[in-house]
Structure 1
Amino acid sequence: MPPRARQPPVARYCLACPLVRSRHEPVTMPRTSTAEYASPAQAAHAFDGRYVIISPLGSSHTGRTYLARQLELDRLVVIKFMHEPRSARSSRPLERFQREARALARLDHPHVARLLDYGEAADGRRYMVTEHVEGRPLAALQERFGWLPQERVVGLLDQIASALAGAHDHGLVHRNLKPRSVVVSESRDGSDHAHLVDFGLVKESAPDGAEPASHGVTGGPGGWYGTPRYLSPEQAFGRPSDARTDVYAIGLLAFELLSGRPPFDAHSPITCAYMHAVVAAPALDAQPDGTPIAPRLRDLVARCLAKAPEDRFPTMHALRAALEDATGTASTAERARAEWATMVDQPARGALLKLRPRPRDRGLVRLTPRTQPPSPRPPARPEPPREAAAEVWPPRSRPLGLNRWDLWLVILVAFAAALLGALLGR
């Protein structure tokens, strides 16, 4: 077999680990074939005559999702069935489900999963069909590795903010951004490609800021709208939401991806919502491995997590401009690929590598080239001359430093003196 021509190294983020691999090194991706699922017997019992349900994927506020195969086009899709209402008189689940479908139908964005079909099954169940995104949820990467490098985080945040900016341009507010709402796949050039896949709590922004009745942190029939760990202060208080609510959620996501932990967490949902409402976010200075956070990126996260909406970025477009500013370039993804490609190309020239285990998972290693010259150490500051201490009179007494044997000697002398005094007294 003739040797394969070597391709130029391109930075590729592996979805199974936080390392970057070159193009000539294979990256294992979860490729799913539609032929391995649906047999002729399964096709005879296809849902609605067009889809074969394969496996459950999860549940959200509006329904339960399943991986399915569309028979006519022979492709994988995702089907969401609406939750059954608790009461026959309740119309809220249907309104939310229809609102999500209408929002997805209005959005045509490269970082949003597209709506393919919507309807009502023969048994009366409402369903919607969206495209299947090959990849892993952002929550899975976070649970495995805890935190991600800053360049990778900035690239992901820029794509998510782009999707939210497109939704805001159509008058839509997401209100429930979290790691499980984002699926990360691999693009053709090897970089990350993020998709928003859950719009279950989306709302149309009203001119007067109208919002469904809610009791905020006090609970009650309305409760709050969102996940307690990823609530904004206005959601916790039951106040109207707007685009700045999603800006706060971007700050929560950035903090968690950079530090490996959420800024606010508690066992009680009420306590967690209260912390979002009144407790200041902790400082974000360095990553778990000691890498300092870039000052502009740190200030960006702090501004996103401001309690007052007017103190945050006013729009997602302003946030994206600040993200570009935080890295000092107009394209964070291209900068990350270029830097990683340089690092990957150095071992091919014979550069030595130093393996440094990550603190969270000792089984993984991080590649750091040794060919870079060590950073020069700052010159040591000369110590100021010590001034002679002024004499103190009378001199201060110092405590006696007695060890164990000195103590026994003192006790023995005292006992001998007492015994001699007793004998002389007789």
Structure 2
Amino acid sequence: MLPWAPQVQDSLPVGTLIDDRYRLVRLLRKGGMGEIYAGEHIGTHKRVAIKLLREPWSREPVTRERFKREAQATSQIVHDHIVETLDFGVTPDGVCYLVMELLYGEDLQATLLREGRLPLRRAADIVMQICSALAEAHRHGIIHRDLKPGNCFRVGFRGVQDFIKLIDFGIAKRLPRIDNISQESVALTAEGTILGTSFYMAPEQSTGGPIDHRIDVYAAGVVLFQLVTGKLPFRGPTAADTYRLILTAEVPSARKLAPEAELPAALDELFRKALHKNPAKRIGSMDELGAAIAAVVSSGAKDRPKGDGAAAAVRDAAAENRRGLRIVGTVALVAALVTALVIALIWRV
């Protein structure tokens, strides 16, 4: 530990009561500022995820306010694709805690590492769910600011293979709540503070300039690009090089980066608009981005050469077979998942 680093307490033992309401059941993840536990409400026995901000961070004003903002942001949005916040508080000894629904599954980053790039239709379905969730967040005046595969959690829900839950609103930014976010909102956002993950940052975010909901549009475009190509559109050997590419380089062609995916030409045009360096020329909302993605998928199906029907049928059958095998495998591994792969919200703590 560096000599100037604050002393962080050891993890709380299993069985510890939080505010006389929640019992810690299992430590899921430990970070520099706290931990995430699987827990249960002592009255209802409902299983939950409990995120703790430990000493001394729970007494540090900026960190504590950011933690509180996460609770406020997620508690005000009711949406199938946003993790549900159940409770927030501070214990008598100063530990801040956030209680959310417990998720079973994995984040998209883990999926990409295991499977590589995804078929366009599957990737599009995933990102359209993200668009729907963030459109609702934006209607509440909340921008995420750190959208990336690691903050998109895949859970099993009603037989859906890729049901997405957005997590980690820890650096969310509040804008005025309005039904249609206007240009005037830009002047009300913060300047001078860079928060987020470099690969997914819009140019205006990476320079610490004024930001609005369109940085989430940009990040969603990057996520889609990564899902369909297996690569990031802008990635340098250092963070500084990545920022330079984000600010100056043209959007690369997804079709050229992943020729084997046979992506439609319209997809490259969508990426040019979603990742435009000028936010005024970028796709203007999450609803518009979702509609544009749906249109690209539809046009891709219509543009398939008629003479290639047999090959297309083989590809489609193979894809469906792989999907069936995944479903069968999932059913067979449910018991193991429950005990060995319980992964609560993968926040950065």
- TM-score category of the 2 structures, normalised to the smaller one: 0.7 to 0.9
Instruction: Please give the secondary structure, in 2, of the residue aligned with 1:328.
Output: helix
Counterpart code for 2:143: V
Q: Classify 1:151/1:53 alpha carbon distance in 2 versus 1 (closer, same or farther; 3 Å).
A: same
**Aligned 8 A contact 2:142 2:174 in 1:** yes
**Aligned 8 A contact 1:286 1:293 in 2:** no
CA distance in 1, matches of 2:55, 2:236: 30
Counterpart code for 1:343: A
Aligned ranges for residues 187-336 of structure 1 at < 5 Å? 187-206=157-176, 207=185, 209-214=187-192, 222=193, 224-285=194-255, 288=258, 290-328=260-298
Q: Classify 1:234/1:210 alpha carbon distance in 2 versus 1 (closer, same or farther; 3 Å).
A: same
| 1:179 Cα deviation from its structure 2 partner | 0.7
| 1:281 Cα deviation from its structure 2 partner | 2.1
Aligned ranges for residues 363-382 of structure 1 at < 5 Å? none
| 1:83 Cα deviation from its structure 2 partner | 5.7
Between the two proteins, the alignment pairs up a number of residues equal to 288
CA distance in 1, matches of 2:17, 2:159: 37
CA distance in 2, matches of 1:226, 1:75: 33
CA distance in 2, matches of 1:302, 1:263: 11
**What residue is the counterpart of 2:40 in the other structure?**
69
**Aligned 8 A contact 1:211 1:241 in 2:** yes
Q: Classify 1:83/1:237 alpha carbon distance in 2 versus 1 (closer, same or farther; 3 Å).
A: farther
**What residue is the counterpart of 1:174 in the other structure?**
144
Instruction: Please give the secondary structure, in 2, of the residue aligned with 1:241.
Output: coil
**What residue is the counterpart of 2:332 in the other structure?**
none
| 1:199 Cα deviation from its structure 2 partner | 0.4
| 1:319 Cα deviation from its structure 2 partner | 1.0
Instruction: Please give the secondary structure, in 1, of the residue aligned with 2:283.
Output: coil
CA distance in 2, matches of 1:236, 1:117: 33
| 1:268 Cα deviation from its structure 2 partner | 2.3
2:53 matched to 1:82? Answer: yes
| 1:288 Cα deviation from its structure 2 partner | 4.2
After superposition, the C-alpha distances for 1:108-149 in whole angstroms (9 at most, x for unaligned) are 000001111111123201111010122111110011122111
Greater relative CO, 1 or 2 (CA 8 Å, sep 6+): 2
Identity of aligned residues (%): 30
Counterpart code for 2:46: R
Cα RMSD (Å):
2.9
After superposition, the C-alpha distances for 1:293-338 in whole angstroms (9 at most, x for unaligned) are 1222332122111111112111111111112211228xxxxxxxxx
CA distance in 2, matches of 1:51, 1:83: 16
TM-score, normalised to structure 2, is 0.74
Counterpart code for 2:134: L
TM-score, normalised to structure 1, is 0.62
CA distance in 2, matches of 1:294, 1:143: 24
Gaps of at least 5 residues in structure 1 are: 1-40, 215-221, 330-338, 348-352, 354-426
Counterpart code for 1:168: H
After superposition, the C-alpha distances for 1:208-262 in whole angstroms (9 at most, x for unaligned) are 6234342xxxxxxx4x111122211001111111111101001110111111111
Gaps of at least 5 residues in structure 2 are: 1-12, 177-184, 300-312, 323-349
In terms of mean alpha carbon deviation, does 148-157 or 202-211 score higher? Answer: 202-211
Greater per-residue helix proportion: 2
**What residue is the counterpart of 1:131 in the other structure?**
101
